[in-house]
Structure 1
Amino acid sequence: MSRILITGGAGFIGSNIARRLVELGHEVTAADNLFLGRRGNLKGLKLKFQKMDLRDEKETDRLFRKGRFEYVFHEAACSSAPMFDNNPRYALDINTRGFVNVMQAAKQTGVKRVVYASTSSIYHDLTPPQVESMVVTPESFYTISKYFTELCARQYLSEHGLESIGMRYFSVYGPNELHKGRYANIISQFLWIMRKGGRPVIYGDGKQGRDFTYVDDVVDANIRAMRGGKPGEVYNIGTGSITTFNDVVQLLNLSLGKKIAPKYVPNPIHNYVPLTGASIDKARKELGFVSRYELKDGIRKLVEFYSK
C-alpha cells in the first residue's frame, strides 16, 4: 500500500484513477478546486478529499508535507483548447504555475514519482500514426501549456532527480464526464444528445477521425507508469485505431437501438485537426500497456453507465 495524491481528483480522469487505486488498497488523497470536478464523482470511495487551489504555493506545500505522499498523479488542468478561449490567463495559470507548485512540493517532500497528464493535441496536424519522437510545434495556448509541463518535468529530473512520466492522452471518453458539459469528449456529448432523441452536430462531412480511448485503458496506463517506464519520458496512451465521427454515430445508434442521422454544418474552426492516431509501440514496450477496449465495447459500457 502506498500513500498517493491525485490532483484534479474529482475530475473525469482523476476520479477514475482514484477508484482504481482505492480498489487496489492504496491510501488515496484527492485534491481538487471543483472548478469543473464534482465531489459526486468520488461517491462511495474510501479516500481523503481536499478542496484547494494548486496555484496557492503555501497551500500546496502544506498539503504535501501533511500527506507525505510517495506517488502523485497530476490530473489537475484546464484540459482542452476551448477552455482557454474565454480566460487564457486563468487556464495558463492553472496549467503552468499549478504544475510547478506540484513539482516543487514533490521535490521538497521526497515524492518517488509524479505521473502527469499531457495531451495528443501537441501533435496538431502531424500525420498519424503519431510517434513520441516527432518534432512538435504547439499551435494553441492549451498545447503550449502542456508542452511546458513536459519540458519542466524533464528539467526537474535533470536538476533535482525528481522522477516523472508524461501521458499523452488520445481522445479519452468514459464515465464521470457529465460535469464537463461542452468540454467533454465528443462521444459523451453525442450520447447525451442522442439518448434524448436529438441529432448530434458534426462539423464538415464527418470523415474526421480520432483515436478514441476508453478511460479504463488510461487508468491502466497510469498505474503502470507509477513504477514502470523510463523517468523523464512521455508516452502515447491510445488504441492505435482511428474512428470517424460518422462511425461514432453509427456505433451509438447500435448501442442505443436508434436510427438518428447527424446534422452536418460547416466547420467554424480554422485550425481543425482532421485525424489523430497514436503509435503505442513505445508504451507497449516500456510500460507493457496495450489497449483492452475496442470502441464498440467502450461505447456499450458508457451507455450502460448513463442508463443507471
Structure 2
Amino acid sequence: MTLLVTGGTGFVMSVLVREWLDHDPQARAVILDRSGLDTMAERYFAAVRDRLTVITADILDSNQWSRELDDHDISLIVHGATITPISRGSATEARRQPEAEDPARIMDVNLMGTVNVLEWARSRDTVKRFLYVSSGAIYRHHGPDWAGEPLPEDGYVAPLTLYGISKFASEMVVNRYADLFGLSALSVRLSSVYGPMDRATTSRNFRHVPNRVAHMALAGEVIRPNSLEPVGDYAHSVDVAKAIIALLTAPCLRYRHYNIGSGVTSTIGDVITWAKEKIPGLRVEVSPSETANMIQGTELKDGMWGAYDLARIERDTAWRPRSGKEAFHDYMDWIVANESDAAAGEGL
C-alpha cells in the first residue's frame, strides 16, 4: 500500500512517513514537497529509504508533479503541505507578525494547494482515503461554555489569523469534494505538536513550550518563563503520526473532523518539572516579559489553548495518547540520541 504525504520533508509529516514505513515492511510512501530532504531528514529516513520516493516540486504547479504521481499507485493521501506563519516565544519574536510579510502566499499555498491535490485525487480510482491536516488554529480563543470541558469538534470555530482561516476554508473544500466526488475524506485538527524532527524549515519556524524546555534543559541554559501558569495541549509528533495512521486505516469513520492532541492541558511549570527529573540541576527564573526567554499569555487557558476533546478518534480507532511526562521524556531521550551530531554540524 502506497501513501502520498505532501509536505513530507517537514516536521510532523516526516514523522508520519517514517511511522508508516516502520509499521509495515511492505508499505511504500511518496513525499511531495517543495523542499528536498535536509541532512537530518536523510539520516531519519536512512533505514527505510529504499521504500520512499521524494518528489521535489511546488504544490501550486500540478504540471510539475501530477504525471510522476501517476506512476506510484497511490491509495492513501495525507495533505500536510502548508505555510505556518507563527511567531511566539521570546519578547522579540512576539512582536513579529509573520503573516504580514507575504499574506497572499499563505492563502495561495494553504488553500489552493489543497484544491490542487484534491483535483488530482478525485480522478484516481486507486485513492481510497484523503486526510487533510488542519489545526487547532481554526478554533476560538475561548470555549467551551462550561469550565473544565475539553474542546469538541462541533462549534467554537472562529479563526482569527490567515493561517487559521486558510485551514478552515480548506476543511470545507475537502468536505465539498468528498460529497461531489464520493471521496472518503476527513480533516484532523492538531493541538500544539512537538517531538522528533521538530526543527526550522522553510515553511515553519516555531517551537512549542516542550521543545524549548527540552533543548534549554539539555543545553544547561537558565529557563526564564514569564510565568509557570500558561497551559497548552501538547502532543508528541510520534503520537500524532500514529493517530493519523489509525484514521487512515480505520474500516469505518463516522465523522469528517477529528481532534488530535493529548486530551489534557499541561502548564509550563509541569513541563519544567518533567525536565528536572532528567536534569536535576536545571535552573528556572520567572522573569518579566522584557527579559523572559519563554513567553506565553497567562490568559490563554481554554478554546484553542485548552484541552482537546478526543472522544471521536477514541470511538473510531484504538489509538490513545501517552501521558505528558512519558512523551516528554521520550523526546528528551530522542534529542540526546539524534540531535547531538547534527547540532555540532548544523548549528542547531
Q: Same fold (TM over 0.5)?
A: yes
Looking at structure 2, the residues matched to 195 and 265 of structure 1 have their Cα atoms a distance apart, in angstroms, of 23
Give yes or no for contact 1:212–1:295 (8 Å, CA) kept in 2: yes
Q: Any conservation in 2 of the 1:153–1:232 contact (CA below 8 Å)?
A: no
Distance apart, 1:188 and its partner CA? 1.0
Q: Does 1:50 align with 2:33?
A: no
Counterpart in the other structure of 1:305: 334
Q: Is the 8 A contact 1:107 1:160 kept in 2?
A: yes
Write out per-residue CA displacement over residues 22-45 of structure 1, whole angstroms, 9 at most, x where no aligned residue: 121311111221289764343332
Tell whether the 8 Å contact from 1:68 to 1:109 is kept in structure 2 after alignment. no
Greater shift, 298-307 or 254-263, is seen at 254-263
Residue-by-residue CA offset, 1:95-132 (whole Å, 9 max, x unaligned): 11111111110112232111121111222323251001
CA distance 1:209–1:26, shift in 2 (3 Å): same
Runs (4 or more) in structure 1 with deviation over 4 Å come to 35-38, 267-272
**Residue of structure 2 equivalent to 1:32:** 33
| Counterpart pick for 2:257 among 231, 234, 242 | 234
**What is residue 181 of structure 2 aligned with on the other side?**
160
How far apart are residue 257 of structure 1 and its match?
Answer: 2.9
Aligned to 1:172: 193
**Which residue of the other structure, out of 229, 242, 247, is the alignment partner of 1:207?**
229
Q: For 1:270 and 1:20, how far apart are their aligned partners in 2? A: 34
**TM-score, scaled relative to structure 1:** 0.90
Over 3 Å counting, the alpha-carbon distance change for 1:182 and 1:14 in structure 2 is: closer
Q: Does 1:106 align with 2:121?
A: yes
Matched residue, 1:124: 140
Largest Rg, 1 or 2: 2
Q: TM-score, normalised by structure 2?
A: 0.80
- The answer to whether the Cα contact below 8 Å between 1:255 and 1:299 also exists between their aligned partners in 2 is no
Given that 1:208 and 1:245 are in contact with CA atoms closer than 8 Å, whether structure 2 keeps it comes out as yes
CA contact (8 A) 2:194 2:236 kept: yes
Aligned residues: 305
Q: Shift of the alpha carbon at 1:84?
A: 2.9
Unaligned runs of 5+ in 1: none
Q: Percent identity?
A: 21
Contact 1:115–1:166 (8 Å) recurs in 2:
yes
**Alignment partners' CA distance in 1, 2:306 and 2:100:** 22
Structure 2 residue runs without a partner (length 5+): 88-97, 144-148, 338-348
1:73 to 67, 70, 78: 78
Q: Aligned partners of 2:244, 2:102: CA distance in 1, in Å?
A: 29
Counterpart residue identity of residue 46, structure 2? K
Are 2:216 and 1:193 equivalent residues in the alignment?
yes
CA–CA separation in structure 2 for the residues paired with 1:32 and 1:258: 42
1:295 deviates by: 1.3
Residue in 2 that maps onto 1:217: 239
Q: What is the letter of the counterpart of residue 218 of structure 1? A: V
Q: Does 1:16 align with 2:15?
A: yes
User: What CA distance in whole angstroms lies between the structure 1 residues aligned with 2:122 and 2:56?
Assistant: 22
CA distance in 2, matches of 1:270, 1:214: 22
